Structure 1
Amino acid sequence: MLAPSALLSNAAAAEPPLVTIVALCHNHVRFLAAALNSIAAQTYPHLEIWLVDDASTDGSPEVLRRYAAQHPEWHLLLLPHNVGNCQAFNQALRQSRGAFVIDFATDDVLLPERVARQVTFMQAQGPRCGVAYHDCELIDEQGQHVRYHFRRDAQGRPVHPVPAAGDVFAEVLRRYFISTPTMMFSRPMLADLGGYDEALAYEDFDLWVRASRNWQFGFQDEVLTQKRLHPQSMSRKAYRPADPYVASTIRVCEKALAMCRTPHELAALATRLRWELRQAVRFGNGAAARRLFGLLRQTRQTKPLDYVAGALGLVLK
């Protein structure tokens, strides 16, 4: 017969894992109620909620204070100065305790079964799975359906195959395929990486590269999140004048080059660099084009047309 202490130990081991949701807000007042209501509607009960406002100027802090008062177990962190997503997330992460962590932008929406379904999936993948992600519904500013993240064929399969599980390092170098709001992280993976790189203007590409080098990713073929599309989204600013993200993209590509171990991985990185180079040329960003072409040459995977783009970069400002 087990001693009482052993029974308590077994019961503790069987407890569902705590999940931390870091809800990051910067001027999301129009969408904040829908986002926070979607947290409160989760069917998974073992949650630790951090409401983090990154110095909003649109009334968001007042809404966050109201929800924190309605949910005393939620944590409220109002930052006095705008520090950006990476640092804001890390501040909450360092104080949190969850075995799994979700970075939740408060212009998006979690469907009610999101956390419960994703925890079950992560546990099934095993301890080497550092990131789980899934399909999502893209919605407009009014919350209306636009499309799904993954285009699908008549049989409902993604048109472009999605890595189902395992090592995705070369794939994250080659192309964008993960919908950022759908990710759930394991705490050991985040601890291994030291959280987000606070020197960068955005986090997802860097996290994919660094995490996928030593951790496995898992794709869950379900729609559990709604991602909102609006004019302030990062993708609408890429490579335009005063783009705040291009320097971070180049820095991540530099990191990736140092991590590549095989010709296959270098070829994947060259595909990414080639695309970024052409974007830089397209929008007249000569400084970025020159740096990207220099990285592309270091992969030893250049093609004749790459030199045309590189030459155009030399004549652009």
Structure 2
Amino acid sequence: MKPIVTVICTCYNHGPFVRESLLSVVRQTYSPIQLIVIDNASTDESRRVIQRFIDEYPEVVFLRNTHNMGLCKAFNQGLGEAAGKYVIDLAADDVMPPNRIEKQVQAFESLSKDYAVVFSNAAYIDPLGVKLGFHYALGPTGHAHGRVPTGDVYKEILRRYFICTPTIMMRKSVLMKLGGYDENLSYEDFDFFIRSAHDYKYHFIDEVLMYKRVLNDSLAMQFYQVGNSMLRSSWEVCNKAYDLSRSQEEYDILANRIREFIKKCFVAEDPEQALAFRKLLNYIEDPGWKTDLLVLLCRLHLPVNWLYRHYAKWRNHRNLTLMQQGVPFVQLER
């Protein structure tokens, strides 16, 4: 008997895209699938679009929130209803190719129980669905060019963002053991990756099994907004990583990651969070004069964010052009 896969789709103001996203689930070549849709108090037409979809597919579970709970809490709400052995966290603007779930279940079922995540390559699309490029560069055979970390990936998770989050399928038992997503955080993937990769392995499928939509209000851009909560969440995760790390090499990698977050604090004009990151860094190594200078500049409240926003617009346009020319997303400056 084939295992159930639960897809939890969380929607907030994705009216133009949510139907296509949900259709990509019900049109999978695999069954059985449990689809849970959560409208997180959208203010656009999302709820009406979802309701019309539910009228066509009444077996779909529809949870309607009266206020926005945040992504992590909304996902956990769906996780509480999940019947599947494996779970996919689907954003309501992304699209799955028809064979995605079938491919990932086949991989999971061939792996030992110490594998918590199966992930893949992804194609990036614009709001109209036009393909922009790929997460990992494709070689002449259509497979990823170069080595993608697989197996024990904890050090790589600490070092950099290399997994396209929407591609992951998770083992539900691991999610439950971890207590789901941390509801105190404003975003989920860094924390989940750190906590799960510490004790479990990841498996890479060398195929494009997700279409990730690129929008102007992406989470990556929100990191640099003045007053954003994501830097605080990142600091919380770095503290967890400090407690979990087991070797000097891992601490050194974490130190470099903390320095990158301090740079984000400078751009976001957040001196308090920069000081918090600097204090954590000091437990690992001497922050050094360059880091101290950057923290000092943060404390001077220099109006750098407006300048960065102009730079970010130029950079995003350049990155989209580079992706269309074949440069993979993981090699772009973010």
Q: TM-score, normalised by structure 2?
A: 0.86
2:121–2:144: 8 Å Cα contact kept in structure 1? no
2:234 partner letter = T
Equivalence for 1:19 = 5
Equivalence for 1:83 = 69
Worse-matched range after superposition: 264-273 or 277-286: 277-286
Relative to 1, partners in 2 of residues 1:21 and 1:247: Cα closer, same or farther, differing over 3 Å?
A: same
Worse-matched range after superposition: 282-291 or 211-220: 282-291
Q: CA deviation at 1:232?
A: 1.7
* Overall identity of the aligned pairs, in %: 34
Structure 1 Cα separation of the partners of residues 268 and 68 of structure 2: 28
Q: Once the two structures are superposed, what CA deviation does each residue of 1:101-129 show, in whole Å capped at 9, x if it has no partner?
A: 00001100000001000111112222111
Q: CA deviation at 1:305?
A: 2.9
**1:54 pairs with 2:48:** no
Structure whose CA Rg is larger: 1
1:42–1:111: 8 Å Cα contact kept in structure 2? yes
SS of the residue 2:204 aligns to: strand
Root mean square deviation, CA, Å = 1.8
**1:44 pairs with 2:30:** yes
Structure 2 Cα separation of the partners of residues 234 and 111 of structure 1: 23
Structure 2 Cα separation of the partners of residues 74 and 234 of structure 1: 28
**1:293 pairs with 2:278:** yes
1:267–1:301: 8 Å Cα contact kept in structure 2? no
Structure 2 Cα separation of the partners of residues 230 and 285 of structure 1: 25
Relative to 1, partners in 2 of residues 1:298 and 1:94: Cα closer, same or farther, differing over 3 Å?
A: same
Equivalence for 2:212 = 227
Match of 2:15 among 15, 20, 29: 29
Equivalence for 1:198 = 183
Structure 2 Cα separation of the partners of residues 175 and 160 of structure 1: 16
Structure 2 Cα separation of the partners of residues 56 and 264 of structure 1: 44
Worse-matched range after superposition: 244-253 or 15-24: 244-253
Structure 2 Cα separation of the partners of residues 161 and 280 of structure 1: 32
Q: CA deviation at 1:152?
A: 4.8
1:199 partner letter = N
Equivalence for 1:213 = 198
2:117–2:171: 8 Å Cα contact kept in structure 1? yes
Structure 1 gaps, min length 5? 1-14
Structure 1 Cα separation of the partners of residues 15 and 222 of structure 2: 21
Equivalence for 1:306 = 291
1:232 partner letter = D
Equivalence for 2:307 = none
Q: CA deviation at 1:153?
A: 6.1
Q: Once the two structures are superposed, what CA deviation does each residue of 1:134-174 show, in whole Å capped at 9, x if it has no partner?
A: 1100000111011111235678675663212x211111111
Structure 2 Cα separation of the partners of residues 121 and 91 of structure 1: 27
Relative to 1, partners in 2 of residues 1:97 and 1:301: Cα closer, same or farther, differing over 3 Å?
A: farther
Q: CA deviation at 1:259?
A: 0.9
2:32 partner letter = H
2:231–2:261: 8 Å Cα contact kept in structure 1? no
Structure 1 Cα separation of the partners of residues 268 and 65 of structure 2: 35
SS of the residue 2:116 aligns to: strand
**1:251 pairs with 2:236:** yes
Q: TM-score, normalised by structure 1?
A: 0.90
SS of the residue 1:29 aligns to: coil
Equivalence for 1:104 = 90
Structure 1 Cα separation of the partners of residues 35 and 280 of structure 2: 41
Structure 2 Cα separation of the partners of residues 221 and 213 of structure 1: 23
Equivalence for 2:53 = 67
